[in-house]
Amino acid sequence: MDLKIDYAFKQLFGNEQNKDITVVFLNAILHQTGRNWIKDTLSLIRKWVASTMKIKSQG
């Protein structure tokens, strides 16, 4: 992996100032619409935790 690309990716999507760009990017690549639309990074974390807990309770 080219470290310059990794650094640029982290600067663009991992920076709090660019949170809106990150949310739009994630909704686009995950094809999120309607109720599943990610509104902010906190809602993404909550969905991930909820799905993780659901999988663990079924397993």
Q: Enter the pTM of the model.
A: 0.56
What number of other Cβ atoms are within 10 A of residue 30's Cβ? 12
Q: Please write the tens of the pLDDT for every residue from 5-29.
A: 888 888 888 777 888 888 888 888 8
Assess whether pLDDT exceeds 60 at residue 39.
yes
**DSSP character for 31?**
T
What number of other Cβ atoms are within 10 A of residue 22's Cβ? 18
Assess whether pLDDT exceeds 60 at residue 59.
no
List C-alpha distances in Å: 11 to 6, 30, 32, 57.
9, 21, 23, 36
